[in-house]
Structure 1
């Protein structure tokens, strides 16, 4: 057997991000996965909240201090964005599951709507929280 026959063959590369032209529906797909991961982190934070609440006033005060810090508020803002994005895009997927909205114009329009809803709902919640003294 020759050395050429023993050498590994070059395999074609599968198309990936550097090959495809970015478009809004591609961005929504990637963002849906990312927000899903962020919501798992949010579930861990909710579990930590419950543990601190059950552990007594000192533990709960420490939790509130961490979550009320600038970094904690930034994390909570990110979780709010993730929640509303994942909600809106999940509804979009339900519409697709019903067999509607597959044409390019509808898919692009619904993607824009998902981003607009996410921004509006997140800002509304944070404005209400600020007006009521919650933050």
Structure 2
């Protein structure tokens, strides 16, 4: 086999199947996904603000969509994405100071990000319904 054929047979970089998924890797990927999802959520917030400015009839229409089961599910997902991304950003700020980079601490911070985002999302929705 020539040298060119040997180079062509090898992958240029490791594939995802080689890596064992660990919590920090999963939270890193989720951080990127939630960051992208926040763009869509921002469009929904802008749509809501436009509905407020457009008058009562259009506001009622948009509120009906957001108040449906699917609308509430989307808003719940947006709230979770927002809290997860915020807590993940704080975790990265801690890492930027050079702290929390030890293996055990990294895993604990990643787990705290996941648990904290779920708890904070549920808490925000409970407070929102209580105030309503």
TM-score (normalizing by structure 2): 0.89
Q: Distance in 1 between matches of 2:112 and 2:126?
A: 21
Which residue of structure 2 aligns with residue 47 of structure 1? 46
Within 2, Cα distance between the matches of 1:98 and 1:106?
Answer: 14
Match of 1:96 in 2: 95
User: Does structure 1 residue 65 correspond to structure 2 residue 58?
Assistant: no
- Alpha-carbon distance in structure 1 between the residues aligned to 2:106 and 2:64: 43
Note the residue ranges of structure 1 that are not aligned, 5 or more in a row: none
How far apart are residue 129 of structure 1 and its match?
2.1
Cα distance in 1 for residues equivalent to 2:40 and 2:90: 22
The 5 Å alignment of 1:78-93 reads 78-93=77-92
SS at 1:14 equivalent: coil
Deviation at 1:11, TM superposition (A): 4.7
Q: Deviations over 1:76-114 (max 9, x none)?
A: 000111111011110000011111111111100101111
User: By how many angstroms is 1:13 displaced?
Assistant: 4.4
**Structure 2, unpaired ranges of 5+:** none
Q: Give me the CA root mean square deviation.
A: 1.7
After superposition, the C-alpha distances for 1:42-71 in whole angstroms (9 at most, x for unaligned) are 110011112111111111111100000000
Q: Secondary structure at the match of 1:22?
A: coil
Question: What's the CA shift for 1:16?
Answer: 2.8
Q: Which moved more, 1:90-99 or 1:10-19?
A: 10-19
Q: TM-score, normalised by structure 1?
A: 0.87
Instruction: Tell me what 1:74 maps to.
Output: 73
More helix per residue: 1 or 2? 2
- The number of residues matched between the two structures is 127
CA apart distance, 1:120:
1.1
